[in-house]
Structure 1
């Protein structure tokens, strides 16, 4: 029996992440299939691979997954009204459920699917306004795997390109339309509604959490919209762009770049993680350039970098502080890289 409480997603600021590979880089001189083989040999030799696929034909709708290293094949005959996309997502759900039951803390698992749309929907799950019922269940199942301490990668692979695991899954999915285990989506409309409400609540809590960290006034309280509008009218476009990025913390600090690229999150000058706070106020190597910032903080009774980026001081005082921030960033040659 599936309960709403079983599907509560982990808050996005406090969860172990699923690693997504939506694209496959072509290695020099290799086609997609051989590029995948090369990637596996270089980066995934210690992973257990699970391949999923789905099929819809005159016999019905089927989903399947295979685990070649363990000679496991699982086939599921689905409701004939489901789309191929639904079936692809259900195949991923079944694979995730298998992983959570079969592997333990520290295991490395890679689930491979030739459905780029399914992987994309799962990757953007928390930002989707109305996730499909099957996507809700699938993401929850995948998250359960990583919450167990299993390193999980979701990999797109090209279909019908001769990749053995994908070919096996393709055959199994076609067979599933005839002889698969009878199964159906366990997500009822009432559960979908409940989960949608929970997701919206989590999004709001995440927003409030990030707001508290970044003093991100300009996207929050209505009573401060006029203040922000006047403030931005008194600074240059370049200053406004830098201020926006610093406040939101979506800025070219090493800790931010490390979230998306294989970058070192530490400061280029010292051994500390380079956050917005570290960049503006903490790095000892650039301290000689920030005397003006320190003087303004003392004069305006600004306690920390949150106040520095959005204090309750008068407009003109804010403009002076923002100008000093941009001047400081220019002195340390970071105004262009943010």
Structure 2
């Protein structure tokens, strides 16, 4: 039996397998095929490359382009399911373009992180970052790297911005609860000073101000966790007295799950006595009973669209702000308010 290592597939092998020229293989795998190669032929080339296990010689390509073909993805922490989805989407698109991804999570979830690079600008081509991890960029700010921000203030100094439509999401929640008849609201706000949560608070207040009799009776801030939601909602419900809210709007599904636990511990039924809504549509939203009414954010597509924007910027194409649609998932945690005694 021979122990010889089989030869590594070449671009010529891919071209022969797909029935195209080597120039076509170069165009397709270099993502320069649009307008020059048909979509069907491009897919045939990609399929041949996958079947043969072909990978371009990235070291040689780096020497030709003068770039490392490596992007930094900055998120608060992958222990958060939403940011795990963001990373998955970004990594998938990067892999399609043979770009490496370096993950840069903040150790505390949100806040500054130690710079792992002696010289980031010499190691990386660009940065894709969430606004919740913006402080972690401080160590890299002097490198002059192209930056694409996710879920961030548009035109905030980044080369491009990709956002889920957070304002639309909060409008959907508010309209849903108002339509059910709720007028006394409480807001369980994430204890994070970032653009996305400021938008949620602003839009909630603006929407309720347009409806006579509707009000936010109390806002309670909490760390984004089930325990944070449990503690904050417990304080809110304990101190509410006769003006207890009938609807509790939570900035995150983890907060909403904690709020549901707090309500039950005080003898309140969800949704008969208190409607609770979340944000993000994480797996936990359908793992609890009743299932959460929540805003579905396209986490994986957010990461994918952000990486596409970064690759476009690196290729010299201008990108502004991309806004991704969101949807409201109506489930069992929201219902009409209890009748007045």
TM-score greater than 0.5 by the shorter chain: no
Report the TM-score when normalising by structure 2.
0.22
User: Whose strand fraction is larger, Structure 1's or Structure 2's?
Assistant: 2
User: Whose helix fraction is larger, Structure 1's or Structure 2's?
Assistant: 1
